[in-house]
Chains A and B, each alone.
Chain A
């Protein structure tokens, strides 16, 4: 695993240096694209906790991104500062996630996917129709209102590059948290639950509690990303949180390798980044084909490399034994 650490460190260094090199050149716009990719990295790592580690199939993950974003936006419009608004966004999102998690604890696989898919759509529709709070499809802030700015010790975040570094820092934080959780006692419990819930229970693992902890962690990541997103974008509508976005994040994990932190990062960068870069370099025409491109890529991955591009060591082993058992 040493090589992976080195890889992560190099990536971090490259991502720190890159915007400084390009900031005044013709590629300055790529800083913004990288920032967006960073948000997806945070989201992919959030989903990786529940879907990757615990194996809970979640097709409505964007709902939590949306709840985080909207909570932060509603407060920010009222003049609450960014950090407090983010804290509140985290609290609200985690609370909603736990409240939703409790009744679906017994569901697994397809059934959980259906319920979470429904919840994702319900969330979007509520945001779309709760005019008094969210201003419906017109989005926040309303005319004449403005979101607060982000500032840290008097330094104001105004340019893309400022948000880029904020996102990079938060993404790095989520990577560290993910890595530590993966190798912790909790991480082992999560994997045991994924493998066999009853055996896990009989081994003394408090299954309900560890599942709730996974829900909370993933909601925490989503809320962080959501709060940064609205403050950067300075505008939010329900349009940003469609079912397709949820599917995108699932695809990132499938592409990168379920349950693998490095894989989730790579998947997020590829799936969110490629279409953006294509669009920037080839013009708006290419954006039309982005679903086609990664649809094809996903099919190819599932056929030729079912464990994903950078699978966790264990997951690779699992698929090997599965194939042995099948043959």
Chain B
């Protein structure tokens, strides 16, 4: 579904953030992208959604080249990106946030909203509340809900567990699995390697702009290198 061939990105003139990333996300999968700070995980997502320009390589989505396309056109193809730090419109209401996620869609806003409320019932209770007053977990749900309003084929999540309590992290990961169960392919960027490898079909490990390891989620959980570097046990 998403095929990336030696994608590279340079910040400014010198700082090379991605040094030729090749990876693939197949229809129906949950794919995790793990790695430490500065590995290039977020940059990669931002490049796929068109916020960064790649300066080498090729990105294809459903057989169509999407590098060099504008973000709103990429979004229209069915790629939704929940960015790092969620970036909800904190001064607008929950409903307005969700409506903006529906911006490119035709058809019934109401049924789209009902769909979202089925996944995130708490948003329904808060619908007229301004988004900035939601708790961290609710804000993450809103950010995911806003992205799902565009009825995406591929959902890219950047650190959905960031700043959440362990119980909420658990719930967010359950929800990601449920969303995937509804036929949405998921590309997940996480620092929380244990949780994300737990739900991922496959995973890639990034280090300083390169893929250093790839494999099935369960296999990587058993991998010694991974255990030492990311899971904090030997």
Hey, which bits of chain A sit against chain B, CB under 8 A? 185, 188-189, 191-192, 195-196, 198-208, 314, 317-318, 321-322, 324-325
Contacts and interface: CB of A to CB of B under 8 A. Distances in A.
B80 to A, nearest CB: 8
Given A201-B51, A317-B130, A195 B89 contact: yes
A203 B91 CA distance: 16
Contacts of B83: 198-199, 202
Contact of B150 (A189, A204, A206, A325): A204
Contacts of A202: 49, 51, 71, 75, 80-81, 83, 87, 147
B132 interface: yes
B24 interface: no
5 contacts: A188-B103, A198-B83, A203-B150, A314-B92, A317-B91
Interface string B125-154: 000001011000000000000110010000
Given A199-B83, A207-B71, 10 more contacts: A195-B89, A200-B100, A202-B71, A202-B87, A203-B100, A204-B103, A314-B92, A318-B91, A321-B132, A324-B133
Contacts of A201: 50-51, 71-72
Contacts, number: 73
A326 to B, nearest CB: 12
B99 interface: yes
Contacts of B91: 195, 314, 317-318, 321-322
A185 B106 CA distance: 12
A204 B104 contact: yes
B39 to A, nearest CB: 21
A207 B96 contact: no
User: Which residue, of B50, B72, B96, B99, has the highest number of chain A Cβ atoms within 10 A?
Assistant: B72
Given A202-B71, A203-B150, A204-B150, A188 B99 contact: yes
Contact of B90 (A185, A189, A321): A321
Given A198-B51, A198-B83, A203 B92 contact: no
Interface residues of B, number: 29
B171 to A, nearest CB: 23
A207 B103 CA distance: 12
B89 A198 contact: no
A207 B70 CA distance: 10
Nearest to B132: A321
A322 B91 CA distance: 8
Contacts of A196: 87, 89
Given A192-B89, A321-B90, A203 B75 contact: yes
The main secondary structure of chain A at its interface with chain B is helix
Interface of B: 49-51, 70-72, 75-76, 80-81, 83, 87-92, 96, 99-101, 103-104, 130, 132-133, 146-147, 150
Given A199-B89, A321-B90, A204 B51 contact: no
A198 B150 CA distance: 16
Contacts of A204: 71-72, 75-76, 103-104, 150
A204 B80 CA distance: 9
Contacts of B88: 199
A243 to B, nearest CB: 31
Nearest to B101: A203
Nearest to B91: A318
A192 B71 CA distance: 15
Contacts of A198: 51, 83, 87
A322 B49 CA distance: 30
A200 B103 CA distance: 10
User: Which residue, of B49, B76, B90, has the highest number of chain A Cβ atoms within 10 A?
Assistant: B90
B87 A199 contact: yes
User: Which residue, of A188, A191, A199, A207, has the highest number of chain B Cβ atoms within 10 A?
Assistant: A199
B87 A205 contact: no
Contacts of B80: 202
A126 to B, nearest CB: 34
A199 B51 CA distance: 10
A191 B93 CA distance: 12
Contacts of A324: 133
B152 to A, nearest CB: 10
Contacts of B133: 321, 324
A206 B147 CA distance: 16
B52 to A, nearest CB: 11
B76 A203 contact: no
Contacts of A207: 71-72
A321 B130 contact: yes
Contacts of B72: 201, 204-207
A203 B103 contact: yes
Contacts of B71: 201-202, 204, 207
Nearest to A320: B130
A23 B218 CA distance: 87
Contact of A189 (B51, B70, B103): B103
A235 B147 CA distance: 55
Contact of A195 (B81, B92, B146): B92
